[in-house]
Amino acid sequence: MAAELENTYNDLTPAEKEFFTRMQMYLQTKVYFYGSINRPDYYSGNSDIDVFIFSNNIPSTLSRLEQFLHISSNEIEKIFRVIDKHEPVLGYKISYTKKGTKNTNATLPSVTADPHMTNGYSEANASPYSASPSERPFSVEISVYREKDKVHVFKEQRQVMLPFYFTIALMMIKWMYYDLGIISKKHYQYWKSLILTKTRYFTVNHYQRKIH
């Protein structure tokens, strides 16, 4: 399931929450969270934070993301997916790492009570490069789709529910990789990909049998 900013299963850090609040303000649209941030196997500071953004004007949204993240168009990947047995869905993916800051005395920009601002942030001061709390880096995977495809993307997310034994398996391999360091990155990525692929096959087929 995808969740809004205030409803993720795992809490975002103050810097992460500020980053996504600024992003929503700058793009003038909601950001939806999915993936491990909404599961027990999430490792804060190590797991990517996966988000969906939907837009009625894709070129404008991508241009704003380039400005907000200070990236080039070459860093945006075009993707095609078949979702919910629907026609191929066009999307765009951005992998981004927000660098931490060593400035422990950073302060937030001044805010006003303007009701058109989000949590006090205007579009002008919404840049992630404004002063923010000291925090370690975090990685974000941003997927952008057309607004009209939202219903299909969300339906797929509802179908892909991780069974408890797959969740335990993911927690174990992450523990061995992040905490113990006894498996390589190559083996970690292989087992993680295998588990998530099996999960998608199992849950989608189970959902389809259930509705027939």
All structural domains of the chain with their residue ranges: 5-159, 164-211
- Cα gap 129→101, rounded to integer Å: 10
What is the reported pTM? 0.79
Residue-level pLDDT at 125: 58
Q: Lowest mean pLDDT of 55-59, 95-99, 160-164, 193-197, name the range.
A: 160-164
Q: Lowest mean pLDDT of 11-20, 21-30, 191-200, name the range.
A: 191-200
- Cα gap 140→134, rounded to integer Å: 18
- Cα gap 28→91, rounded to integer Å: 19
* Tokens matching residue 192: 């993680």
- Cα gap 145→126, rounded to integer Å: 22
| Cβ neighbours of residue 130 closer than 8 Å, sequence gap 6 or more | 22, 108, 109
Which residue has tokens 């400035």?
103
Could you say which DSSP state residue 6 is in? G
* Range 5-159 has CATH code 3.30.460: yes
* Tokens matching residue 86: 């629907």
- What is the mean pLDDT of the segment spanning 72-98? 88
pLDDT, the chain, mean: 81
pLDDT of 85 > 90? The answer is no
